A and B are shown apart, each in its own frame.
Chain A
Amino acid sequence: MTDEELMQAICNGDQDAYQTVVKQHLKSISHYAFRILDDQRETEDITQEAFLKLWINAEKWQPEKAKLSTWLHRITHNLCIDYLRKHRNIQTQENVEEENEKRTDWRDSHADGEEERLQELRLKTAVNSLPENQRSALMLCHYSGFSNKEAAVIMNISVKALESAIARAKRSLRKQLSDANSAQSEEKA
């Protein structure tokens, strides 16, 4: 069945079609939400809400304007951004605690010589320090594999703005990671 046929069936209240769509897109949607929110519980809530919105608003999808995956990612993106904006204060407080935990982990892993874990932790910290729009642009283009044009549609910005956000994000990541590596080399020396 094509996306159009599946969505038509969902519009007619077909729960089997809904099940098929959920199975097809669950992984990409949950991964995208997790990379934006960096919280497993919130990711699950947002993923559930995104599919609920797909069910309720199935009739609003216009196949000539966007692919189903693009539309679904847009729903998820908006939910994640709304969540981050609503919980920004709480998030900041949690972030501080989380950062402390991460630093402790970082030291532990450093002591154990787990280089890979350390690198991943550094990367996560660097990615999470990026502004919201840069992080979303990076996640959509690098991890979710969307083209720049599709990512711009999901984020509801121009292609130029998206490209500028990706370029800034990569420059910033490159700098942060190379600084962290230099610091580690100095520590070793």
Chain B
Amino acid sequence: MMTIEDFTHFIEIYGADPNRWPIDSNKSIKGFLLDNTSAKKVLAEYQELEQRMDSYGVPEFRGLEQKVLKQALPPQRSSLLAQLLNWIIPKEASNKQLWRPAVAACLPLMFGIVLGNYYSFGIDTVIDEYDYWEGEFAFLALSDYSEGMINE
């Protein structure tokens, strides 16, 4: 249930112009206003206040547009990625700067080589000789040679 305090707070927040009221509360506010003299009085007071507020004049800024447009524009600030891309592939590319894309292309390759040299990533390429023969002997011991000897 809306009270006159709720209504006043609503008018303070959203203003006295019904066009600026939120659509979802528009109906309930207008309904409350319909037969409430105090609410109508509050609304009229705030409408008067807002009308007075509209009298706050602003001087004319002659020549400001020209001042803004004529000021020297400094270089634009771009993101780190854009700066990096611009360094690798400069907009005004010349043959002297060809080493930059070449270096950029070689860097991942070199990085891969270095990384591959230091880390095995779980792939064990070195076979432990002792462990290998140990296993072989164990398998040989399981073979039954007696069957072959009987047949002979």
Residues of chain A having any CB pair with chain B under 8 Å: 11, 13, 15, 18-19, 22-23, 26, 30-31, 34-35, 40, 43-44, 47-48, 51-52, 55-60, 116, 119-120, 123-124, 127, 138, 141-143, 148, 163, 166-167, 170-171, 173-174, 177
Contact = CB atoms under 8 A, between A and B. Distances in A.
Given A52-B74, A119-B52, A173-B49, A44 B61 contact: yes
Contacts of B61: 30, 40, 43-44, 47
Given A123-B52, A171-B12, A22 B73 contact: no
Interface of B: 9, 12-15, 45-46, 49-50, 52-53, 55-59, 61, 64-65, 67-69, 71, 73-79, 82
Closest 3 CB pairs of A and B: A167-B12, A163-B13, A170-B12
A166 B46 CA distance: 13
Contact of B68 (A34, A47, A60, A167): A47
Contact of B73 (A11, A15, A166): A15
Contacts of A163: 13
A34 B55 contact: no
13 contacts: A26-B68, A30-B58, A44-B67, A47-B64, A52-B74, A55-B74, A57-B76, A143-B53, A148-B13, A167-B13, A170-B49, A171-B12, A174-B45
Contacts, number: 94
Given A173-B53, A174-B49, A19 B64 contact: no
A60 B82 CA distance: 12
Contacts of B82: 59
Given A52-B71, A167-B13, A170-B49, A123 B77 contact: no
A107 B67 CA distance: 37
Given A43-B61, A174-B46, A177-B49, 5 more contacts: A30-B61, A47-B64, A56-B77, A57-B76, A166-B13
Nearest to A43: B61
B99 to A, nearest CB: 26
Contact of B15 (A19, A22, A60, A142): A142
B54 to A, nearest CB: 8
Contact of B76 (A11, A171, A173): A11
A13 B92 CA distance: 15
Q: Looking at B14, B52, B79, B82, which has the most chain A CB atoms within 10 Å of its CB?
A: B52
A30 to B, nearest CB: 5
A48 B72 CA distance: 11
B66 to A, nearest CB: 10
Given A51-B68, A120-B56, A170-B49, A59 B13 contact: no
